[in-house]
Amino acid sequence: MLFHVKMDVHLPPDMDPDVRADTLAREKAYSQQLQRDGKWPHIWRITGQYSNVSIFDVASNDELHQLVSNLPLFPYMDIAVTPLATHPSDVKAG
């Protein structure tokens, strides 16, 4: 199942710099492992924002929830999820 996921990050301005650095390092490692595993095949930065648009390829809604809720930045995110389906005009889908 494919999902379009928009993530907006809102780190507290007074967050301890060491906690921030550790959280960002863990986020990068975890997200890159999901990419290597094929669960997170696409990620794009939204220009001018601390946000991204991503495509997840997972087996179920529950798997997506588990992966996203385990992101170290999850407590600081607003997340919007849209399930995707194949478009009938997609020449590659046939």
Q: Is 52 within a domain?
A: yes
Q: Is 66 helix (H, G, I), strand (E, B) or coil?
A: helix
Q: Which residue has 């939204």 as its token pair?
A: 46
Predicted pLDDT at 93: 82
Contact 36, 8 (CB under 8 A): no
Q: Is 91 within a domain?
A: no
Query: What total number of domains does the chain contain?
Result: 1
Q: Which domain holds residue 68?
A: 2-84
Tell me the average confidence (pLDDT) per consecutive run of 10 residues in the chain, 94 residues long.
Answer: 98 98 98 98 98 98 98 98 95 82
Q: What is the CATH number of the domain that holds 60?
A: 3.30.70.1060
Q: 13 is written with which tokens?
A: 């301005």
Predicted pLDDT at 39: 98
Q: Is 36 within a domain?
A: yes
